[in-house]
Structures are given as structure tokens and as C-alpha cells.
Structure 1
Amino acid sequence: MTYWNEKIETMPKEDLKAMQLELLKELVKNTYRDSKFYRERMDAAGVKPEDIKTLDDIRKLPFMKKTDLRDNYPDKLFVRPYDDLVRIHVSSGTTGKPTVVGYTRNDLDNWAESLDRGMVSFGMSKSDMLQNAHGYGLFTGGIGVHDAATRLGATVLPISTGNTNRQIDLMCDLPVTAIAGTPSYLFHIADTCDERGIDIRKDTKLRLAIAGGEPWSESMRKKLQDRTGIRVHNCYGASEFYGPMFLECKEQCGVHVWADLALIEILDDNDNPVPDGQKGNVVVTMLKKEAFPLIRYRIGDITSITWERCKCGRTHPRLDRITGRSDDMLVVKGINVFPSQIEAVIGEMPFLSPFYMITLDNKNYSDHMLVEVELNENSLTDDTTELAKMAKKLDSRLKEVLNIKAEVRLALPKTLQRFEGKSKHVIDNRSYE
């Protein structure tokens, strides 16, 4: 078994929790001293740093949420002067003001180490060449993955997003063994390879992939792996943390959340902790962030966590796949609908590709949901009876999962919009004026 930091990665659970408690105490003390925002929040909650005596005492601390980050734009949440910062990243701000995140040198080192531990856990080494198809610039993914792979000693091909034909040319011409990108873009690369008659198994040396930046299902992973022969590993993170930072090991049974870097709570709708393995709302505390502290941050993701020791030997908790986002939830005819539910159903259907679009309208003040999904190339047929059967199968399964009726439309391959970065799956045209 290969580790980046064996002592930390295999530390007993009790020792990890003791380390978390000491880090949490230090974090709260320093943040209370340095952050006007969080000091006021703690004072309003009637809690002082010295009140944190056990890990359970974290529940005494106030939450942070996305609106706090936007309301304090651009840098009111920073607790270090710009002289101490070595980098700034900025989110897209597509749903409001962008989030500006500052980094000290230690912040960047911790971020890179987190990814390096994950890369080693699924078999990457200095012998690999990584084609980085994440965007470079203000987006955290590209540079974060680049820094970690460079620190690992791997050769990095910093191609960024887009220019898919050139991506494929270089993938074929150079000894590229690993690729990083969004799941939807990796599917798009596979589609383009098919169009050009390129067999990824035979014409490239690709064997590993890191996929993140957007939700995707286990069934989607299986389709991508079966189609390309590449072993695809899930990635979890956000710019508020540092960036993408937690990866799956070779076992592919949840991302390893390094307990010396982050403390994850899974809470029910009443903010009470749920049992190990039960789904709930993710709340994140980053234990070593220096420039931009993050304590009890409601990120909006829904999943479960387990402390069960992984087959790979690592003892840190593992976060299951994100099954939905509380802030991405659609309310259709009074029913809560998550796009991830629809994606999971699509992944069950062997005749469908992973490309889909959800369009919401209202007619006579009644919600209407259209789900358009592309057929895959092998399922194309002129047999209208067969097409009707496929549509009915999808329609029935969606109704079973969502408890709501959706209009289903099967689209021809390559007719729905493609995205080189994060994919977009929902168009909401509803208006009640």
C-alpha cells in the first residue's frame, strides 16, 4: 500500500478526533480574536472560545452560509492582511455576488497536500502525465489540481478547457495517463473520440481520471468507465474550502475527507447530527485555513459520511456521493425535485446518453416539467414502437422516483447543448404574474 503521509492517513480514529478537537479550539480562539464578523456572531449566540471543550461543543457555534460570504464581499471575512496572502481566487458569481477567497502560503500547501494524498490513494505517481482540462484562472479547479500534481512529481499538461480536438490530439500524441475535468466534459471528449474513430483504450495511454466540479451519479461513472476503459475518481470540494480537495481512493467507495484538515457534520433538518451512514445536510469546518476561516459552513449538499475504516487502510471519514443540494432543489407542483434524482434515473437506462435538460414552465398557473434526454448512438432506431417503449420506461421510472409526472422527450445524439466547464441542466421559465 502506498501513502503520501502514512502516519496521518492511518491514524486511529480516537487520535484523529483528539487532533480535531485541538485544531478546533485553536481555530475558534484565533477567529474570535481576528474576525469582527465571527466574533459578533459568537457574542450573539452567547458562546466564547473557552466554551469549546469537546467536539460536541461545536454545536454551540453559529453557522455560516453562502449569503454571509456575499454580504461581506469582497474581503471583509479575511483575517490576514494582503501582505500575508499569496493568491486570490474568485467564484463565478452566477447566482449573486462572487465569493472572493484569499490564501496564505500554508493554505496553498494544505490544499496541495490534500489532493496529493488523494492522488496517491488511487494510484497516481511521478510516473504519470496529467492532462488538466479544468479551467485556469479565477476558477480554483485548474490551478489547484496543477499545483498538487506538480508537487507529486507528475508531468502536467495544462491544456485547460475547450478546444476538444486538440485535447484529443495531445492525448494521443503524448504519453498522457491521467486526465482531470468535469464529468460532462469527459463524456464530451469520449463522444468526439467516437466521431473521429479514436479508440481511447487502443490509441491513448489513459488509465485514470479525476472528475469533479458538478454533481454526477454512480451510474454515470459506470457508463464512462465501461465506455472508455478509464478508471474515474470522484472529487469533492468548493472554493470556500480551498477548492477541489478530497478524492476517492482506488476502492471508489467515497471521498476521503482528511480529518486533520476538515471537520464534517451531517445534520438533519432540525440541525441535529444524524447517525453514521445516514443522509443529511453537510456542514463544513476547515480546521487549518488561515486567510479565510470557515466555521460551520452550510454548503447546501446532501449526503452521508462514515468513519468505517476503508479497505485501502485509511482511517479518515469517507463522504458518500452528493445526492442533492438544498439550494438546487426545485419545487414542482409542491414536490421537492433534485436534478441529481433525474440524472440517476437516466444513468439506469442503457439506451440513454448522460446529456439532458430540464425545462420548467407554468401553464394556467400549473407547473410543467419537460425532461429532454439524448439517445445514445447504439439505440438509434426508426422503429416508432421501440422508441415509444424507451420513452415509456423513462417516464414510468421518473414518476416512481419523483412522485410527479414529467413530460419526457427523447432527443437525437449530440443535439443538446454541451458545456466545457460546469454543465447546466435546468431552465426555469416559470412566471406567476
Structure 2
Amino acid sequence: MKRDEMESLQLDRLRNTVGAVYKHVDFYREKFEELGIVPEDIRSLDDIAKLPFTNKQDFRDHYPFGLFAVPQEEIVRIHGSSGTSGKPTIVGYTSDDINVWAEVVARSIVAAGGKRSDTFHNSYGYGLFTGGIGLHYGAEALGMAVVPMSGGNTKRQITMIEDLKPRGIGGTPSYMLTIAEKMKEAGINPRQSSMEYGIFGAEPWSEELRKKIEETFNLKAVDIYGLSEIMGPGVSVECHEAQNGLHVQEDHFYVEVINPETLEQVAEGEEGELVFTSLTKRALPIIRYRTGDISSITREICKCGRTTIRMSRVKGRTDDMMIIRGVNVFPSEIERVLLKVESLVPHYQIHLVRADSLDNVELHVEIDDALYETIAGDLTDGRVIQLKKEIQSLIKSTCLVSMEVILNIPKTIPRSEGKAIRIIDFRNKNVVGV
């Protein structure tokens, strides 16, 4: 679609959405009144800057149904966040919302290289989490044969992959590493599987991890993005032709990038916090939702021919960013470094600890079987000490921080069967990041 046509469609749908929330959602009507605006004030897309932001706390404050815009009898589905820090964020869908969601996921699968004739192995978790059912409905809408595996039970996952020979797979990138490791333990070469493409998301992952997965499985790995508050997976996706930024489904979602401190929009190409406004949702229309995800956007036409805005792959979340002696560091930046180091496996955890009243960071990594056998299990061996120094030097030169590196023997760092837990805060005995 041409740019002017898309923007005309977006403005029409934005005005309809603003009118709906003003009429049906007390929270938004009160916010509008505080700002002294009415729906008629939205005359151009630039006027979106006049509208209030929404954040996760607003969902908590109006738990469970306070942000819904339709009567309960029109709700056909309820999902929620994982609720790791309290009650889950509750979201609802009308039948129209479900159809739109299935459509954008179907588009996403095609962009990733999927076809109607494919068998699709779905390793995203099913349940309140939107990932599994979101991909399921989209694949079915496309006409695929879906294998609804969900997460976990890795041995059975491998059996189904071997026997049903899916062409595509979906799941978290960290869980794909677990599947690969278990395949190798069973004497199965992951590169000889039937899978030609994978649709991975639900957690930030680096370009280096993409290369690792592609080399391990001999497939094309693309990134998919979404949040339950916005819709679920399918808000944006990479195309298999370029793998260079995620195409936003702009006819259904309006995207902005803001400076999280000033709340002002940043220039195209500049990193900031992603903000989304839904344009077609009926049950739970959302205005300027602050995602907490760090990214940038570009309007440059992709080589695949799609004309939609593209967002860069999420660098991390504002709430998983660590400030180490004044330097901002995301786990994905550390991941990039580790995946370049030989003799390590791609599993790691970052521990926040307190010693002598000071906050410290410990990076826990794991050596591979080959090195472990070479040193006969002796972690005091000079080769291990040299490896530790190499990692510390790379972290220092790349991330501009120093941290304690602790090398572990194989199979000691917990494996992911869903979203990977990357940061553990031992200062309060509390998991603070994923």
C-alpha cells in the first residue's frame, strides 16, 4: 500500500478508536478530560501526540475488566501476561478481534516463508500466554496443519519433529537451543531435520543467536513481535527475504518511538521506547501503550517490496537494562559477546549480588563438553583461566563494563522450556528479568 493510502486508513481508524474509548472506557474519558481534549481534536496523525499514554500499571489499577470497551457478552476470549510480578495483565477479545489476530499472524507466517501446504510445529506455550494460541490460529487461518506441542517435554517435541517432518517451527529462541542440545544427545543431527524456517520471539535475542540457530538447524530464523496488551504475536515480523527489521502491521497498529525520559517522539532511526496504539481492536482498544521495549523505526522500503514501517529488533526492555557503574547494559549485548567465544555453550545467566554493601554483577557461563573433557573437569586449569580472561576482556571492550565471570561445568545452567530467565537478583532473592 502506498504511504498516503496507509496514513489515510490509519487516521480514519485512529479517530474511530479514539471515539470508542472516549465513549465506552471511563479511564480514557477521564484522561482526555484532564488533558482538555475531545475526539474531534484528532484531525491528523500528528495529533496522536495529544493523547495520553497507557502503561502496565493502568492495567493493574483497573484489573481485571476496567479497560474493556464492550459488554461482557461480546467477549469470546481472555488472555493474560505471565503475572511473574503479581496478578496477570488481563486482555479480552471479541470474535472480530480474534479474526484480525489470526489474519496478522497468517501474514507473519507468509512473511517468514511459510506456505499453506506446510506442517507447522508450534512450541510456544499454550494457555493464558498469547504466544501458542496466537500462532496456532494464524497458522490454521493460512490453512496449515498445526502440531500444537506447546513448550516443554522436549523428548516428545523431538519425536514429533522427526516423525511429522514439519517445514516450519515456532517458539522462543532459547528453547530452540534446548531442543538442539537434546537432539545431539540423542544422536540426531539438527541440521538434517525437515525444518526450513523458524518464527522466534517472546524474548529479546541477538543477531549472533540467530546465526547460531540457523547454523545449528540449517533453517532461516525470523523474529516475530507482539505483546498481549496490544494483541499478541503478529504485531510485526521480519521477512525471510531481508531479515532486516520487523514489518509492522500498520493497518491495525500505529507505532511511535519516544524518549522514555522526556516522552517526546524521537527521530526516525533513533532508538527509544516503542509505543503502540491499536487501530481496529474492539474489546480492548489501547491508546499509546508504552511497551518498555527499546527499538527504532524506519520508513525505508524493504527489498522484499513491503511498504510498511519496519522496527529494529528489540534491543532489550527498559526494566531489564542494568546500570553497572554508570553504564547501561542489556543482556542481549552480553549475549552477542558470549556467542563469539569458542568453548562456550549458548546458555548463560546474570546474577545481581551484594557483597560488603556493594552491588556486583556475576556472569555465569558454561563450558562445552570438549573443553571439559580436555581439562579433565579441572576448572583451575590454565586454559579455563585464560578463557575467563578472554571473556572479561571482550565484555570490557564491547559493553564498556567489568564484571565477574564464573565458568561452570556442562549442563549446570538451567535450560529454557519457554522464556529464558536471564537476570536473577539475589540481593532480594527475586527474579527481576527475563
TM category (shorter chain) comes to over 0.9
Identity fraction in percent: 44
Corresponding residue of 2:60: 70
Give CA deviations for 1:130-170 in whole Å, capped at 9, x if unaligned: 11111111111111110110111111111111111111111
Structure 2 residue 202 is matched with structure 1 residue 213: yes
Corresponding residue of 2:15: 25
The list of structure 1 runs, each at least 4 consecutive aligned residues, that deviate by more than 4 angstroms after superposition, is: none
For the Cα contact (< 8 Å) 1:210–1:235, is it kept in 2?
A: yes
Report the Cα distance in structure 1 between the residues aligned to 2:232 and 2:131, rounded to whole angstroms: 6
Correspondence list, 1:30-109, <5 A: 30-109=20-99
Corresponding residue of 2:404: 407
For the Cα contact (< 8 Å) 1:200–1:206, is it kept in 2?
A: no
Report the Cα distance in structure 2 between the residues aligned to 1:347 and 1:61, rounded to whole angstroms: 42
User: Among residues 251, 254, 265, which one is paired with 1:263 in the alignment?
Assistant: 254
User: Among residues 336, 344, 349, which one is paired with 2:341 in the alignment?
Assistant: 349
Instruction: Report the AA paired with residue 130 of structure 1.
Output: F
Report the Cα distance in structure 2 between the residues aligned to 1:375 and 1:405, rounded to whole angstroms: 20
For the Cα contact (< 8 Å) 1:371–1:407, is it kept in 2?
A: yes
Give CA deviations for 1:90-130 in whole Å, capped at 9, x if unaligned: 22211122111110011111111111111112221121101
User: Among residues 320, 328, 331, which one is paired with 1:328 in the alignment?
Assistant: 320
Corresponding residue of 1:200: 190
Corresponding residue of 1:144: 134
Report the Cα distance in structure 2 between the residues aligned to 1:226 and 1:143, rounded to whole angstroms: 28
TM superposition shift of 1:389: 2.7
Structure 2 residue 308 is matched with structure 1 residue 316: yes
The alignment covers a number of residue pairs equal to: 421
Correspondence list, 1:107-186, <5 A: 107-186=97-176
Q: Note closer, same or farther for the CA distance 1:18–1:378 as it changes in structure 2 (3 Å cut).
A: farther
Report the Cα distance in structure 1 between the residues aligned to 2:427 and 2:401, rounded to whole angstroms: 17
Report the Cα distance in structure 1 between the residues aligned to 2:62 and 2:35, rounded to whole angstroms: 20
Report the Cα distance in structure 2 between the residues aligned to 1:317 and 1:38, rounded to whole angstroms: 27
User: Among residues 272, 286, 297, which one is paired with 2:278 in the alignment?
Assistant: 286
Report the Cα distance in structure 2 between the residues aligned to 1:132 and 1:327, rounded to whole angstroms: 28
User: Among residues 219, 226, 238, which one is paired with 1:237 in the alignment?
Assistant: 226
Report the Cα distance in structure 1 between the residues aligned to 2:416 and 2:165, rounded to whole angstroms: 26
TM superposition shift of 1:387: 2.4
TM superposition shift of 1:201: 2.8
Corresponding residue of 1:222: 211
Report the Cα distance in structure 2 between the residues aligned to 1:157 and 1:136, rounded to whole angstroms: 12
Report the Cα distance in structure 2 between the residues aligned to 1:386 and 1:277, rounded to whole angstroms: 43
Could you say what secondary structure the match of 1:331 adopts?
strand
Report the Cα distance in structure 2 between the residues aligned to 1:378 and 1:233, rounded to whole angstroms: 30
For the Cα contact (< 8 Å) 2:55–2:289, is it kept in 1?
A: yes
Structure 2 residue 387 is matched with structure 1 residue 385: no
For the Cα contact (< 8 Å) 2:191–2:216, is it kept in 1?
A: no
For the Cα contact (< 8 Å) 2:258–2:274, is it kept in 1?
A: yes
Give the structure-1-normalised TM-score.
Answer: 0.94
For the Cα contact (< 8 Å) 1:333–1:367, is it kept in 2?
A: no
Could you say what secondary structure the match of 1:244 adopts?
coil
Instruction: Report the AA paired with residue 55 of structure 1.
Output: L
Report the Cα distance in structure 1 between the residues aligned to 2:86 and 2:315, rounded to whole angstroms: 24
Report the Cα distance in structure 2 between the residues aligned to 1:333 and 1:353, rounded to whole angstroms: 28
- Over the aligned positions, Cα root-mean-square deviation in angstroms equals 1.6
TM superposition shift of 1:334: 4.2
Residue ranges of structure 2 left out of the alignment (5+ in a row): 430-434
Instruction: Report the AA paired with residue 310 of structure 1.
Output: C
Corresponding residue of 2:394: 397
Give CA deviations for 1:344-384 in whole Å, capped at 9, x if unaligned: 22223243222101111111221111101122345543293
Instruction: Report the AA paired with residue 261 of structure 1.
Output: H
Instruction: Report the AA paired with residue 99 of structure 2.
Output: D
For the Cα contact (< 8 Å) 1:362–1:431, is it kept in 2?
A: no
Report the Cα distance in structure 1 between the residues aligned to 2:205 and 2:368, rounded to whole angstroms: 18
Give CA deviations for 1:192-234 in whole Å, capped at 9, x if unaligned: 01111101233x3111111111111110000111111021111
Q: Note closer, same or farther for the CA distance 1:379–1:42 as it changes in structure 2 (3 Å cut).
A: farther
Report the Cα distance in structure 2 between the residues aligned to 1:349 and 1:30, rounded to whole angstroms: 53
Structure 2 residue 326 is matched with structure 1 residue 337: no
Q: Note closer, same or farther for the CA distance 1:403–1:200 as it changes in structure 2 (3 Å cut).
A: closer
Q: Note closer, same or farther for the CA distance 1:221–1:379 as it changes in structure 2 (3 Å cut).
A: farther
Correspondence list, 1:6-21, <5 A: 11-21=1-11
Instruction: Report the AA paired with residue 429 of structure 1.
Output: F
TM superposition shift of 1:404: 2.7
Residue ranges of structure 1 left out of the alignment (5+ in a row): 1-10
